[in-house]
Every structure is written in C-alpha cells, then in structure tokens.
Amino acid sequence: MDIIRIILSVIIPPLGVFFKVGIGKHFWLNILLTILGYIPGLVHAIYIVARD
C-alpha cells in the first residue's frame, strides 16, 4: 500500500499525505508547502508516507 501512496505523492503530494494521515496538521502543512513549491511538498509527502 505504501507504494501506491508514494506514487500518489509524486503526482499530487497532498493526496498521498491524506491517504496516510487523513485531514490533520500534516495534510494542511503539505498543502501549504505544495503551494509554495512542488519540491518542498513532494519531500514532505514522501517523508510522511515513508515514516513508520
């Protein structure tokens, strides 16, 4: 399942975070980072999805 989340994170970073943690502080932080730049949002999304 993490592979699918990582693929979704690459395409749309907030979507991968949403499927991992739901709507919470990490989701909103990822939306903000993605608005500021795709790469920061992508890095944050991969970090959230890959952590245990």
- The mean pLDDT values, 10 residues at a time, for the chain of 52 residues are 87 94 96 96 95 78
Residue 8's CB is within 10 A of a number of other CB atoms, namely 19
Domain limits for position 23: 2-50
pLDDT at 34: 96
3-state helix, strand, coil in the chain (%, to 5): 85, 0, 15
| Alpha-carbon span 8 to 25, nearest angstrom | 19
Q: How many domains does the chain have?
A: 1
If phi > 0 it is left, if psi is from -120 to 50 it is alpha, else beta; for residue 22 that is: left
Its pTM stands at: 0.89
Q: Read off the tokens for 4.
A: 């699918």
pLDDT at 23: 95
